Amino acid sequence: MTVAVEPFRVVFVCTGNICRSPMADIVFRSFTRRAGLDHRVASWSAATGDWHVGERADARTLGALARHGYDGERHRARQFTQEDFRVADLVVALDRSHERILLEWARAPGDADKVALLRTFDDIAGDQLDVPDPYYAGPEMFDEVLGMIESACRALFRQLEPAVRQPR
């Protein structure tokens, strides 16, 4: 008899869900897929604000992703909801402003315990825990931000991988 195992669920959160959090989701999914664990881990992304709901990722985000071998074409922005808290096992904020907002939105017991900053998983981040917002910068900043996100997502995945390989 095969027992269905619920996947570990991760949601990445930034301001508008068109730059940083879609990058993190797409990069993180690539790690789970390459490890053959995409059936054991589910991820998505969301925004703290509603300005871009339904929109594609920023063209500079898509460009940076494409230059590094990722495909972000299917992404559509959405806003974080209480349902995300309910279903997610881990809520990953891209900077401290998102972390503050998410902690304010935490309502149910345990919601606040699910919130973590992405770069806290990455030893090389040091005390630079915010992933900077590249929105008002040029394409080179999007590449730099993607590098930070790749490093932090790799570290996050390495931490989660042993647990998700085992039945929950």
CATH code where residue 21 lies: 3.40.50.2300
Tokens at residue 119, please?
């770069």
Banded pLDDT at 166 (limits 50, 70, 90): confident
Residue 161, Cβ neighbours under 10 Å: how many?
15
Query: For residue 115, is it within any domain?
Result: yes
In 14-58, which ranges are continuous DSSP H helix? 20-34
Distance from the first to the final alpha carbon of the chain:
16
Please report the pLDDT score of residue 12 as a whole number.
98
pLDDT at 74 over 70: yes
Q: For residue 163, give the nearest of 4, 72, 37 by alpha carbon.
A: 37
For residues 52-72, average pLDDT? 97
Q: Which whole number is the average pLDDT over 88-98? A: 98
- Work out the burial of residue 36: count CB atoms within 10 Å of its CB; fewer than 13 is exposed, 13-18 middle, 19 or more buried: exposed
The total number of structural domains that make up the chain: 1
pLDDT at 165: 83
Active centre residues (catalytic): 14, 20, 133
Query: Is 122 domain-assigned?
Result: yes
Domain that holds residue 111: 8-165
114 assigned to some structural domain:
yes
Please, what is the average pLDDT of the chain?
95
Residue 9, beta-bridge partner list? 42
